[in-house]
Structure formats: structure tokens, C-alpha cells
Amino acid sequence: MTDLPVGERKPLAPPVDDSGLVGWARRNLFSSWGNGITTVVLFAAIGWVVSWFVEWAILTANFTASTGAECRGYGACWALIREKLRLIFFGTYPYEQQWRPLLAVVAMLAMLIATSDRRMWRPWRLLAIWSVGSFVTFLLMFGQLHIPLSLFLFAALVIGLAGLAFRRQVGSAGEVNAYRALVAIGVIGIGLRFAGILPAWKLGIAPFSFVETGQWGGLPVTMILATYGLVFAFPYGILLALGRRSNLPLIKGLCVGFIELIRGVPLISLLIMASVMLPLFLPTGVTFDKFLRAQVAVILFAGAYIAEIIRGGLQSLPKGQFEAADAMGLNYFQKTTLIILPQALRVVIPPLINTFIGFFKDTSLVLIIGIFDFLNTANQALVDPAWAGYPGEVYLFAAFVYFIFCYSMSRYSKHLEIELNKGTRR
């Protein structure tokens, strides 16, 4: 050890600059000899793969071939995608009418984008957005809609009950009486309809030719199954989660049994049950559309998983939140919808979006009952012998489309989580 004069210190080397891109690379990629060698090897491998992919997918690709034979000897055969684009996106929907599913997809995207805006998060705004968007979507897909009187009566009943549950103590006398009138109209009308006194009246809207669901396919099928499956499964899952935490043994037992039963079987089994076995239990002459049966199976399956996620959010809330709501004199509906659920849903945003992404991709399982979603119609593009031998291009294109939707949901989830947790960050 070198002796230094009293009062003097040995000069130290200047600190390593770890700011900027060079500093980040030194700190994370080249912090040791082993990490440096690994970084160089991985960068070389990634560079080789990227250069090969660019040459195959762009530089030597064929975009203008009329048959698969003309693509031999080249790179990627993107001419297959150009030739089969309509089949991949719209399946066997009538060729001359495929502008209708295209506009239906646009309508659903507009509806989802409008819903993602927090300024639209008002009950009547959301109701208007989804009513108009759904009406336009199914009118374009079917071409003709026949809306039964029972649906109007049921809507009046639901709106009236919701209004009384949330606005009875804060709304004006006229508003509360209007909700009571809607409830009375709904109850009396539905009762008379089941008694056979009211006729089976339907409002017919038929601007286009009718296209049955057996001819649907492609991206519209994927979006309809995923969107409406999750929209209906979400409130149904909330009810299951609340029922599982109920103090009433019968309600709790039924909810626990149903959730565990549905979560204990694969989605394929529910689809087969809905498609094959359900008609066996229906009266003679009574049947349901195959597409509707698949939609119901998706709703039941998704609802059970959503229920467990929401139950986790409910259990994460401190007991003081429940006690504070009771101290304010709120009834059960007000306490649940205004205090408990908003906090619970904010906590479980990441697993909820993860579930949404999973079910968006799981719609490909409906092939088991003869429904062709986007991935399955992409498979059909390979059936043509003139274009056989190019599955890589088709699956890459399908993966790219799925990535766009799933990545968009993931980014929106992150944005929503940040926005809703601004008040809790320190």
C-alpha cells in the first residue's frame, strides 16, 4: 500500500459515461466479456435472418404471377395473396355483394374506436353507438332484418329497470315515472305476447338480398364472434363474479358450480355441444342458427373466465371501501356500480385485455362446427391446385392481420391503465 502525505488523496479515474445510446449499450449489452460476445453473436444472427427475409419477401418476391407455377424460382409468392384476397377476407360471401361485409367491418371498427374514447363513456352515448353500429353491421351482413315486437318490449323492460336502479333517488319525478312506465309496458307486453294475445308482429327492413350465415366467412365472422361474444360475456361475467361472492349459499353455489364446470372443459367441447347436442333437446321443429349457437358457446366460455378475473379484482379491494359505501347510505346497486366495480375493473385491466386477445384468436376453433373465420378462410386459399405449395405467404399474411388487432388492443390496454391510475400514482 502506497503511503500518501497527510491531507492528500489518491486521484480516482473519471466515472464512466452511461448516458445516451452509447452508455445504455455499455451498461446493458457490453457490461462484461461474456455479454459482449453474446451480443455480437446475436446481432450477427439477427442480421442474417433479416437480410434473408428481406431478400425473400421483397427483393426476389413475385407480385404479378397469375398462377403458382409462375412463382417457381422466385422468393415469396405474394401474387397468391393478391389473387385470393377476397376469399381470405370474406370467405364464400357472394362475390358481387362483398362490399357489404367490407362496410360491416368498417362499421364495427368505427364502433370500437368510438367506444375506446373515454368521452363516450356515458350510458346513453354507449347505447346509441352500439345500437347504431350493430344495426348497420347486421343489416349489411344479412341484407334483411326482421325485428320482433318482443325485442322492443324486452328493451323497454331493461331500460326501465336500469333507470329505476340507478336514478330513483337522484332523478326527477317525471324521469322516475317514465322509467316506471317503461317497466310496466315491458312486463305487460311480454306477458301478453307469451299468452298469445299480442300478435307476432315484426318490423321488416329489407334493402338488400338476404345472405344466410352459412355463407359468411373471413374477417367479419372473426370480429362478430369476438366482439359480441365479449360484449355479452362481460356483464354476464360480472354477475357471476358478484354471485360467487354472495352471502346467499344457493346463489354462491350455483355460480361456483357453473364457473368451475365451464372452466373445466375446452371451448371445442362447448362448440360441439351447442352445434350437435343442443338441437336434440329442443322441441320438434324448433331450431337455432348454427352461427348463433357458436356465439352462445363463446359467450358462456368467455363469461366464466371473465368472472374469475373480476372476482380477483373484487378481492383486492380493502374492506374499508365497502364499509364507506354502506356508511354513505348507498343501496347495493349504487354501492356496486359506483364504488366497488370501478375500482375492481381498474385493477384487472391487464388480465381482462389478455383474455380479450386470447378469445379473439380462439375464434378459429369454430371450424370444428363448419364455420369459417379469418384463419380458416385463409386456409381455403391453399385448396386451389393452381396456387398449391405456398402456405408460408398465407400464414404470414394472416399472422400480420392478427398482430395488428392484438397489438392495438395491447397498446390501448396500457394507455387505459395509465389513464385510470393517474390518481393513485405517487
Number of domains in the chain: 1
Residue 7's pLDDT is 57
Contact 154, 190 (CB under 8 A): yes
Residue 423's pLDDT is 63
Q: Is residue 12 part of a domain?
A: no
The structure's pTM equals 0.85
- Tens of pLDDT along the chain (426 residues) come to 555 555 566 677 666 666 677 777 877 788 888 888 999 999 999 999 999 999 999 999 988 888 888 888 788 889 999 999 999 999 999 999 999 999 999 999 999 999 998 888 888 888 889 999 999 999 999 999 888 888 888 888 888 887 887 677 667 788 888 888 988 998 888 888 887 787 878 888 888 999 999 899 999 999 999 999 999 999 899 999 999 988 889 999 999 999 999 999 998 988 888 887 777 776 776 677 889 888 989 999 999 999 999 999 999 888 888 888 888 887 787 788 888 888 888 889 888 999 999 999 998 999 888 889 999 999 988 888 888 888 889 999 999 999 999 999 999 999 888 887 776 655
Contact 156, 141 (CB under 8 A): no
* Sign of CA pseudo-dihedral 292, 293, 297, 303: positive
CA distance 221 to 223: 5
Rg (CA), the chain: 29
Contact 158, 181 (CB under 8 A): no
Residue 134's pLDDT is 93
Contact 226, 402 (CB under 8 A): no
Contact 313, 237 (CB under 8 A): no
CA distance 123 to 414: 24
CA distances from 206 to 140, 144, 214, 215 (A): 10, 4, 19, 18
Residue 54's pLDDT is 93
Q: Is residue 209 part of a domain?
A: no
Residue 305's pLDDT is 93
Residue 192's pLDDT is 85
Residue 17's pLDDT is 62
Write the DSSP string, 150-217.
Answer: HHHHHHHHHHHHHHHHHHTTTS-HHHHHHHHHHHHHHHHHHHHHHHT-S---EEEE-SS----GGG--
Could you tell me the CATH number of the domain that includes residue 359? 1.10.3720.10
Residue 24's pLDDT is 79
Q: Is residue 132 part of a domain?
A: no
What is the span of the domain harbouring residue 388?
A: 215-426
Q: Cell 370501478 sits at which residue?
A: 342
Residue 320's pLDDT is 86
Q: Is residue 248 part of a domain?
A: yes
CA distance 98 to 140: 10
CA distances from 31 to 16, 28, 382 (A): 12, 6, 49
